[in-house]
Structure 1
């Protein structure tokens, strides 16, 4: 496998490019280039594996969840279906797994607020929010781009940015808005999303959004009902932004979003399709985020200051449904009921202060991002459900300096973090700290070709979930998980490559990660013996070609492997390794009026949640977007899609063997902006 990856990367180096240019809002690794080929703009940093899904693609994909939206990114796996309650996000083999919706190796940020990071048993990412609230979703893969966002990040970072009123008003005072209706045939899915935007003056804007997503149980490719796949999630977003001061140097944004899921008589185990041993519950999930963001950007290269204060709060309330568990009436039933009736609540307050400064000489230029972060996480005690309560207080300092020296760009990054975890009961109080960092280098060869590489080291500090009374738990609280990642790749971008007026961009990236001092995973067949180490490696490839006629081709692929090592034992396949996957999109745009595309996705080397091999699978998805040019239909967009067009019957990679993927689904949506 590694030999093939090296050959692929070597070939790619011979045909790659990058032309970095300043991107004012990116936090480190700031050189970017955006070229439009097809549906996805390929946005690259100097040495950063970064993919951005913009608002148009969010609407075109008609995804039900954020997890379903971003699984088209190389190295990203959607675990356990398409429901917000059960699905999880796995990046490069880390993140959601067969037991928890998170393993702390990826970070999810909603306008800066940290969400979906609790290790709750048999529940997904806790990312209960609707894709239509956001104007872009950004995925940073690996460790090298994570130091401004957290510690212990091995898989990557998912960043969501909500819509602004000015996106609808165009920055001109007045009223504007949009209404979207969507219907999907499989599960009789219905969506209504209403956005109202008001800009009373040039420097003030207000936005309200209400989205209701409702879906019955889905049907798999063999015509059977997929249990526990129905959901109803109303979501809301309120946002206000003010700009003021000399030269509009001050910007203040207030943001509040909330999603509620009120499920009746559903399995306690969200990864399963039936109640099983645990039985069924009535579950109310209420998740909300509030963010205050202040930016001071005067006419000075040395000052671009941001202050982001966020609060994320999630409440999960359970009520056992009598008669739903086969253990009812047995001696173990009282313990089971105490588990499934245990309510959960966790709150995270985060304050991030940062400043970006540009300075240097003609020979050497610095783009320096420096900041501090204060985090306070508090969780209600719920030991009965395997979720101990307590608090986690953290303080971090981070620095990312992009140094330009002619054709070379060198970017050192550092993060120091200290944490104090205190049990809500009698498990004690534990303090740990770590210094971590990385170095990225890129070289612009010229003629559109560049090569890049990076080395990064991070440590994952103990978390509230690690608390316990056993000797194993006490050892976890004094151990930081460590990992290093090495990456090497190349880019090529150019115009008039194969014909006049065309554009072509391609990027390949080879990575290798080793993690040790592991506390998150135990050896196969053991509940107390931790793995000795985990090793993963892979090749990610993205490409986009756009012809002057409007024809386009998009490609995204990932090939990888991984091994896990128990103490004193040889390596076996890493249980969470991403599948080998390629995605090819062929399409044609007729100016801004019509866009037709055919997407083919082939996945190999797949396994279910129990480690059993799955057959290779090829899926076909068709999409069409039409914007009528009649005057009376100005601002109207009609979208039509067919997912799994040939009704393939299959189980998704790393998903429960009883939870099949949805069969053929027709989707249609109508959007009117005004």
Structure 2
């Protein structure tokens, strides 16, 4: 009902008041959430015309995405934390936990943008109701369902979309079909094909190994077997291939299948019951075959060996889990309560192999189980005071290669927000403060990694069965601002400003250890058969590497997000300034992104069927522990035109002036030498839509 009521006013048209349940599992507008919450709406997705998941986060403060050889896979960074589950990535309720130790992204995420209805980002450990590990935050991807796609009165509808991109000669074809089979059953299906060649950077040079192909699909069916009951079954599949650069030039095939099931019981006559039960299985597999002969190192002797073309290796993760919670609404005197009680469980099963290259040793197999339970009370008093009190219990166990470890912890949250200025010139301001803790269990890769670095240089990786979980303790102070009719009747302003400090105890990082023979770590051997001199194909480094606990990492920063809409004109802006350090030695945290500022200005005309405008993104220069990138500024233009309800044209010009630049996180992954990003790219798209209702004698009337 909240979304329906917005259709009658400016808010829904101008897209200022998207509803989210991600931060507290109770409905609220993103701009009134007492946390760093951002929503990328369906209309925003149409403006962005994203090619990959990294394109989704323009203008979302505190969020950065990096890519490596595969342009469709991104590692998502929130407030300087990423990889190994520090950011909980959720697709239709299913966790995406895939990890792989290698150069580049440690925790890549594959998401097909054409299938998405909405993306919600929660920054910081305030949403630990979503399970263990989210000390950086949560990114929740929601795919389309029939209720989103079908218009009022339609029984069936379909759309076809084609898009061409000039840089890399990329082609995207997407088809969607949905039907309301009965009043109790809806279905939807979506298939997407992408074919992209190597792109050119801002200097006009072709970036080798940047081509890729994608075939993805989704299917959902929703049942309403009785009043107030809904069951949804879903599948999302993704198949891609690309060539991964490196000494072996590995031809890579990727497949991912996500299966979800959810049951919701919500009877308005029973305010104490709003029950959600869901389960999922997420299967991710990468299979690789080397395309050329390559020099590597024997995993037993460390001596150079020839790894012939055709060497096979594979990395598979199957995550199985469930989530159940109930929200009860009631009042005690003058206080209104929304009490949410729930629990969750998931298990990661990791299986790897590498015929000759040793990839299965520094990506070990094993099993990790994480589970938890929580209770949260959201209290409101007289429309001016809001309090959220929550506590979560987490536990985990990890097994593999003679290692068996576990742990548990309670993590609290307390948030207080007030609206003391209603009826004054400062109406719409809502200051808030939050203290929240989070808990992340170490992963199989971090704990069990063991073996020699496979090529280039040879040195041992050491396991660490005593690795301790990370614990984050965050304080945040912020202010939300909401006001309509600010400059002209019917306009609206929404803004969020926050400052945070996040201390992560026992932060896990890769540490270099000198050999015991040199007075270093007793577990680090000195490989006497490999003198520290150049040998064919590389050289031996007399050192070891092991994931270990840093005593404390501290990240602090300021974030600003604002939006304005008056119907015929709209705008948005964001700013994120972050700083992080290893509190043990004072060194900078390399995982903290540079300062980023964005702006957008757009216009609507021709009865709002024409939308056009421009964007600017400025990324400051950065230098962290020897890795540096120069500042850069990107300018984009966009336009869309809908001559009628059945046809839409979209044009987007990215990097209009062909700026040559390097993504900071790609430079980090490349040891300081990052790959140049895409230069100018024009995206041209056409979408055709057909709908049918029951107005004709045969039950189908074309709209």
Instruction: Provide TM-score, normalisation by structure 1.
Output: 0.86
Map of 1:502-513 to 2, 5 A cutoff?
A: 502-513=491-502
Partner of 1:4: none
The correspondence for 1:199, drawn from 166, 180, 183, is 180
Map of 1:74-473 to 2, 5 A cutoff?
A: 74-80=61-67, 83-84=70-71, 87-95=74-82, 102-122=83-103, 124=105, 125-144=107-126, 146-170=127-151, 172=153, 174-245=155-226, 248-263=227-242, 266-267=243-244, 274-275=245-246, 278-298=247-267, 299-323=269-293, 332=303, 334=305, 341-382=312-353, 384-385=358-359, 386-406=362-382, 407-423=384-400, 426-445=401-420, 446=422, 447-468=427-448
**Secondary structure in 1 matching 2:125:** coil
Partner of 1:554: 572
**Secondary structure in 2 matching 1:225:** coil
Partner of 1:15: none
Cα distance in 1 for partners of 2:124, 2:302 equals 47
Compute the displacement of 1:204 (Å): 0.8
The correspondence for 1:537, drawn from 540, 556, 559, is 556
RMSD: 2.7
Change (3 A) 1:545 1:618: same
Change (3 A) 1:469 1:563: closer
Cα distance in 1 for partners of 2:352, 2:212 equals 27
- Contact 2:364–2:449, Cα closer than 8 Å, also in 1: no
The correspondence for 2:483, drawn from 491, 494, 516, is 494
Partner of 2:600: 585
Cα distance in 2 for partners of 1:119, 1:50 equals 29
Tell me the matched-pair count.
Answer: 615
Cα distance in 2 for partners of 1:563, 1:393 equals 31
Change (3 A) 1:46 1:29: farther
- Contact 1:85–1:123, Cα closer than 8 Å, also in 2: no
Partner of 2:545: 527
Change (3 A) 1:206 1:645: same
Relative to structure 2, which stretch is displaced further, 56-65 or 513-522?
A: 513-522
**Secondary structure in 2 matching 1:343:** strand
Relative to structure 2, which stretch is displaced further, 248-257 or 440-449?
A: 440-449
Give structure 2 stretches of 5+ with no counterpart. 1-15, 451-459, 514-542, 668-672, 691-703
Cα distance in 2 for partners of 1:337, 1:389 equals 24
Relative to structure 2, which stretch is displaced further, 355-364 or 330-339?
A: 330-339
- Contact 2:175–2:192, Cα closer than 8 Å, also in 1: yes
Map of 1:42-81 to 2, 5 A cutoff?
A: 43-80=30-67
Cα distance in 2 for partners of 1:660, 1:314 equals 29
Change (3 A) 1:91 1:241: same
- Contact 1:133–1:209, Cα closer than 8 Å, also in 2: yes
Change (3 A) 1:327 1:46: closer
Cα distance in 1 for partners of 2:52, 2:295 equals 29
Cα distance in 2 for partners of 1:318, 1:579 equals 34
- Contact 2:69–2:209, Cα closer than 8 Å, also in 1: no
Cα distance in 2 for partners of 1:469, 1:130 equals 31
Compute the displacement of 1:395 (Å): 2.3
**Secondary structure in 2 matching 1:28:** coil
Cα distance in 1 for partners of 2:309, 2:392 equals 41
- Contact 1:543–1:556, Cα closer than 8 Å, also in 2: yes
**Structure 1, residues 160-205: CA drift from partner, whole Å, max 9, x if none?**
1110122222254522011110111000010000001111112211
Cα distance in 1 for partners of 2:388, 2:544 equals 42
- Contact 1:22–1:30, Cα closer than 8 Å, also in 2: no
**Structure 1, residues 242-278: CA drift from partner, whole Å, max 9, x if none?**
1131xx2110001001101133xx23xxxxxx42xx3
Compute the displacement of 1:80 (Å): 3.2
Partner of 1:575: 590
Cα distance in 1 for partners of 2:461, 2:109 equals 30
**Structure 1, residues 432-459: CA drift from partner, whole Å, max 9, x if none?**
1111121111011222111011011112
Give structure 1 stretches of 5+ with no counterpart. 1-19, 34-42, 96-101, 268-273
Instruction: Provide TM-score, normalisation by structure 2.
Output: 0.82
